[in-house]
A and B are shown apart, each in its own frame.
Chain A
Amino acid sequence: MEKVWRGRWRGGRSERVKAFALIAKVSKSLRARSRAPSLCRHGLLKLTSPPRTCPLPAAALTAFVSSLNIYRFRSCFPAPFNSSSLRTPPALTMNADNRKGELVDLKSQLRQLAGSRQPGVEDIKRELYKKVISYMTIGIDVSSLFSEMVMCSATSDLVLKKMCYLYVGNYARGHPELALLTINFLQKDCHDDDPMIRGLALRSLCSLRVKNLVEYLVGPLRSGLKDGNGYVRTVAAMGVLKLYHIAPSQCTDNEFPAMLRALLLNDPDAQVVANCLCALQEIYAAEVNISPETALRDREHLLSKPVIYSLLNRIKDFTEWAQCLVLDMVSKYIPSDSDESFDMMNILEDRLQHTNSAVVLATIKVFLHLTISMADVHQQVYERIKAPLLTLVNSGSAEQTYAVLSHLHLLVLRAPALFSNDYKHFYCRYSDPTYVKKLKLEMLTAVANESNTYEIVTELSEYAANVDVAIARESIRAVGKIALQQYDVNAIVDRLLQFLEMEKDYVTAETLVLVKDLLRKYPQWSHDCIAVVGSVSSKAVTEPKAKAALIWMLGEYAYDMPDAPYILEGFVQNWTEENSAEVRLELLTAITKIFFKRPPESIKMLGAALSAGLADAHQDVHDRALLYYRLLQQGVEVAERVVNPAKQAVSVFADTQSSEIKDRIFDEFNSLSVVYQQPSYMFLDKEVRGPIELVEDTGLLPMGPTTTDDVLPSQLVDANDNDLLLGPSDKEDSIVAASNGSHAYNGPDLSGFDSLSAPQRSQSAAFPTPTPQVATTPAATSTSLLDFDDLLGLNTYDVSTPAPSSLKLKAKPSLDPQAFQRKWGQLAVASTVDHTLANVAALSTPQPLIRHMQANLVEVMASGGKAPTFKFFFYAQAADSPPTSGFFLVELIVNTSTASSQVKIKADDASLAPHFQELFLATLGSFGF
């Protein structure tokens, strides 16, 4: 039998022949006992040996096998006939009756073995168990064997036990009534002499995930935490967390967190400590929604000096994964003074030499966070971490490079000069996978400065000519981005123009878009560029973006390109074949502009374009054509003033991401946020982070009406167009852009046109019901107001300033969770109010209320609970107060069934608290109308 095992584990083919022969013996002996059918099992076993030993031709074989379908199933390892028989497990191909019969067979065999004490019975059991597990693995439901499996589990064989635990763990959740059967033997195993079995049994017990069995868990867990063996304690520590996930109150009521805290400080085994740490962190994070005060205090305790130092001092004992965990927690610790910071950095310095990139990144996070307020040291930290980071980029797996490069990119944005001399490390290798190459291109763009631009652009030009299309495109875009961030673009413009001469469609397309952006920033280059652009054959340009760019340039530089009207004419003639609305919009604008410049050549074309535009099925195209038509009716000069005013060069293209978001990502260094380049609240599931994590909402949630006026346009830009990078903050630019038409195709962007939007805005402002009253007036007026504003494409919330009282709130207060916790802990309660809320009865999730509050400048920090009880933490900030003070913190508990709420307010400035209370209650009262 030994041989069978050896062959199996190692997966050697030659061994398998023998293995099957042995299985034959086993199954024979089984058959002798059970009343299994006695067909030609020997024939089967011959068949299962590799083809080379089999004299039959392949076709005959398959025919034979299909006639023996049932017996193929009999052997738990599909025969290595060919790969397809491996891929489709035979069990799946046979019909339900056979399967059922097979399970019945297995069942009876197991039953027979249950009480047996014969020598060798363990081996037979193992074989049967393996069969069961293999069915389970390929997705056959073997839950009907549950009681037999449990009956057979009385064994001292560790492997058998493990298989049994696995089986039980897999089916317990679906069959809670059967899971009860297992409790007995699992509990018994928890007191086994062998610590391995104790640990495994405890782990299985905790992994059952059956709510009504929780009571049986408490005892074994408690003794597990006190077990003399480290292995059992590691399992137990994790078990506490598992218990918490099934039944939080059972876990906390039994003082398990307190026991974990004791182990955290005193356990000699580092892995126990690490598991305690995971468990405590998760438990406290979840507790915040249930009993915030104690949870916050506990979390603070976890981040206290003695705990942090006890972990730091033994950091080397931890496994690399646990080190990441510890370091991540340490990064949240705020040292009392700079000496302490330096001590910590000295302790952790050598972690930068660790081979595990995750440990290195975690250490870097600690260093950066420790020194964030010490500018000069912070800079030194950057210098120090440079070498380890570069090594990580250039060695290890592609996936590691990917993760590290994502982080490097974030760092470079914060300290651009850091890698400006090491740019060569980011040159792409031919064998790099595409995702690494893309990040390297981003890095090259980010590190480019006056001194290295020439080399970098030269290298990028190589990629544009060389490698695959996706990377070639990215490279050209990178060149463009570098050009837009440099002052001296002389050489770059030449390069870009050379791209146009390469006469590859995709290169030309990308380049045209870039040249357009470049001209908007550096109009002085128009002469050189236009000469080349003019020679581009318009037929070679097929991509909508590139076409739009080309058309814009033709319209804008009509004086410099003699045949511009004629090229555009070609486009107009193909109006109906042009699928992209973007291109058609651009065409309308360009033709109108060219009409102002060279009327005789273009008047006919303008007429054709306008009539085609008016007949266009696309709303925006139609509207624009109509607008131009009516403007032109007002007179050519009026129209020109609107459509083609004098332009200013765009000085800075706005960043697509606000610096606030970037800071948030930086706070979440060494996590997925960095990879996604989004703060975690943007990509995590609401439901999941609800109970598990502190909800960190801000007004930036991408959910429509919550967003404040400032944010909305920038998101539109985000969503629509990445390369235009037009910022809303730059009012002047956006008007220029909109009126020259290169931006206005983004959507119904009427507000860009001053002449139109101005009266609308003033109209809504002069509307008889001033919006502040939305907060207090009943439904009728406010909904009509809402409808009206919707008609105008405006947002009701834009103008709503909810304060009838003297207190005004800041539009976008920013307060991070740590600061919130600190403040909440420090400040005294300014007022507590019990309030009746008639309008919350329909509240089934916290979201609507959050949205409502956000619309009224009250931001949410955390929320949770299930109907009928919800709990919220809000904060707001008085207008005109400095960024770190003037905050109001609110705890709100809403009970929807009794329509009552409890409000607890804390304020930085207690004198303002009554005003705020008034305001807050008014806002609350207006909810739901």
Chain B
Amino acid sequence: MSGAASAIFLLDMKGRVLIWRDYRGDVSSVQAERAFAKLMDGENDPASHDPILLENGVTYLFIQHNNVYVMTASRQNCNAASLLLFLHRIVDVFKHYFEELEEESLRDNFVVVYELLDEMMDFGYPQYTEAKILSEFIKTDAYRMEVTTRPPMAVTNAVSWRMEGIKYKKNEVFLDVVESVNILVNSNGQLVRSDVVGALKMRTYLSGMPECKLGLNDRVLLEAQGRATKGKAIDLDDIKFHQCVRLTRFENDRTISFIPPDGSFDLMTYRLSTQVKPLIWVEAQVERHSRSRVEFMIKARSQFKERSTASNVEIELPVPSDASTPAVRTSMGTAVYAPEKEALIWKIKSFPGGKEYMMRAKFGLPSIEAEETVVEKRPPIRVKFEIPYFTVSGIQVRYLKIIEKSGYQALPWVRYITTAGEYELRI
């Protein structure tokens, strides 16, 4: 059987319970604190501990968010993936209510926290976790509280993610196509792995119950429709949709049709595992002069078309932890030494395609060596960037139709952007 949770705990950074909600009465907060204390004793950093721990027959699952741990406990063989995800959902809901989830906001809003925990889980089984739905029966606004509340339609509605009767003066939809590029290059300059994770992020401000239809340059669809597939079509590896998308329609004729939730959500995510040429290539030469100084020579090259421009490029170059007296020259942008990160951060506001920039940096090293040789971690060079109006996959939104029975005209806004995800080059 898929087991039920016993309780939900919210703990502070020292592992003390701030607020907890008991569901089944078989795990107490004292037990939970004790188990957590053990974990904090064992390792200095609970973040490196497995998110699941077993103590006296009780399983504890926890996640960290800001300065709060969200933890659940169970005495049964529960569904690990589901409960961990549920904890993240709790965080999302709290964020929706308090703007940010942290110790302070929990203390300030404990009554709402109790109300929310009550509705999100009953007797250890998850119930409603959509912030939008919850906010229909747990109001935070005192004034509106006076109005009689009824359990929202949505609870009993087939469209559980959207309320009826939403009204906007101006009907608009914003669709952001965001692709993040993950790259790993080894120290010999070989591309070890690369993939692209894309998401269609939507923000809807639409009245009523609008019916939306989205057309993409999806190869399977275009071929099915017998259209020419001249280079423009793309293959997406694994597509996942928000629950509002009618998956059967997609399976049948690749149409993406849905009634969107109100506000922002991820309509669809996909993955592309084809080899991607690194958009920004970084080469590093490191010269160590015994124990006196170390010199870096960094070349960064943009490997995309000239008409695109990367913005907010940040190249994080790891330097020895005991380095000092930096002397840096760059051919573009500025470089700042960040000792707390043990890195030199080179920022380039705007990096057009097909360009190459250089940076030279010199650091002094202490001549005395530490008695115990510290293990060198040798982190990789990490790169952050954004390239607007560009996608690696070449995905395109061909149309976004919005039909509502009142017949209003809605404005769709579409934007493309490519960002660096886990972009690592080893040295």
A residues adjacent to B (C-beta < 8 A): 1-2, 4-6, 8-11, 77, 86-87, 130, 133-134, 137, 157-159, 162-163, 166, 173, 194-196, 199, 203, 209, 229-231, 234-235, 238, 241-242, 245, 268-271, 274-275, 278, 281-282, 285, 316-317, 319-321, 324-325, 328, 349-350, 353-358, 361-362, 387-388, 390-391, 394-395, 397-400, 402-404, 406-407, 424-425, 427, 429-431, 433-435, 458-459, 462, 465-469, 504, 668, 670-676, 680, 683-685, 688-689, 692-693
Contact = CB atoms under 8 A, between A and B. Distances in A.
Given A399-B88, A427-B184, A504 B248 contact: no
A674 B80 contact: yes
9 contacts: A5-B142, A159-B145, A196-B137, A238-B122, A320-B129, A356-B82, A398-B51, A466-B378, A672-B52
Contacts of B19: 137
A361 B81 contact: yes
A469 B82 contact: no
A356 B85 contact: yes
B81 A404 contact: yes
Contacts of B14: 87
A674 B77 CA distance: 10
A478 to B, nearest CB: 17
A392 to B, nearest CB: 9
Contacts of A137: 18-19, 110
Interface in B83-99: 84-88, 97-99
Contacts of B160: 270, 317, 319
B238 A358 contact: no
Contacts of A394: 182, 195, 197, 271
Contacts, number: 291
B290 interface: no
Nearest to B82: A358
A195 B150 contact: yes
A466 B187 CA distance: 11
Most buried by A among B112, B122, B182, B266: B122
B239 A353 contact: yes
Interface string B345-383: 000000000000000000000000000000101111010
Nearest to A693: B1
Nearest to A173: B25
A285 B1 CA distance: 9
B51 A391 contact: no
Given A86-B107, A319-B126, A328 B63 contact: no
Most buried by B among A133, A362, A391: A391
Contacts of A361: 81
Nearest to A4: B142
Contacts of B84: 397, 399-400, 402-403
A328 B2 CA distance: 7
B109 A676 contact: no
Interface residues of B, number: 105
A323 B418 CA distance: 34
Nearest to B142: A5
Contacts of A398: 51
Nearest to A242: B123
Interface in B39-71: 47-52, 54, 56-59, 61, 63
B211 interface: no
A692 B3 CA distance: 10
Contact of A1 (B78, B142, B250): B142
Interface string B167-211: 000000000000000101011000011010100000000000000
A159 B52 contact: no
B79 interface: yes
Interface of B: 1-4, 12, 14, 18-19, 24-26, 47-52, 54, 56-59, 61, 63, 75-82, 84-88, 97-99, 103-105, 107-112, 114-115, 118, 122-123, 125-129, 137, 140-143, 145, 148-151, 155-156, 158, 160, 182, 184, 186-187, 192-193, 195, 197, 237-243, 247-248, 250-251, 266, 269, 271, 273, 375, 377-380, 382, 422, 424, 426
B106 to A, nearest CB: 9
A285 B58 CA distance: 20
A680 B77 contact: yes
A210 B84 CA distance: 32
A406 B80 contact: yes
B375 A469 contact: yes
Given A231-B155, A403-B81, A671 B140 contact: no
Contacts of B78: 671-672
A400 B145 contact: no
B237 A391 contact: yes
Contacts of B76: 684, 688-689, 692-693
Contacts of B104: 11, 86
Contact of B48 (A431, A435, A465, A680): A435
Most buried by A among B51, B109, B269, B377: B51
Contact of A466 (B4, B141, B426): B426
Given A11-B108, A241-B123, 9 more contacts: A5-B145, A133-B110, A196-B151, A209-B25, A321-B126, A353-B247, A354-B243, A358-B81, A683-B57
Contact of A671 (B26, B79, B192): B79
Contacts of B137: 196
A194 B81 contact: no
Contact of B240 (A5, A229, A391): A391
A163 B138 CA distance: 13
B111 A433 contact: no
A6 B112 CA distance: 12
B125 A321 contact: yes
Contact of B80 (A1, A242, A356, A675): A675
A672 B80 contact: yes
Given A86-B104, A353-B240, A685 B426 contact: no
A2 B140 CA distance: 11
Contacts of B182: 394, 429
A238 to B, nearest CB: 5
B57 A685 contact: yes
A77 B384 CA distance: 42
Nearest to A468: B377
Contact of B377 (A196, A458, A466, A683): A466
Nearest to A13: B104
Nearest to B58: A685
B98 A355 contact: no
Contacts of A404: 81
Contact of B26 (A4, A173, A680, A688): A688
Closest 5 CB pairs of A and B: A5-B142, A685-B57, A358-B82, A350-B247, A321-B126
Nearest to B160: A319
Contacts of B75: 684-685, 688
A398 B269 CA distance: 18
A242 B23 CA distance: 10
Contact of B98 (A4, A10, A162, A427): A10
Contact of A158 (B80, B149, B251, B375): B149
A231 B59 CA distance: 30
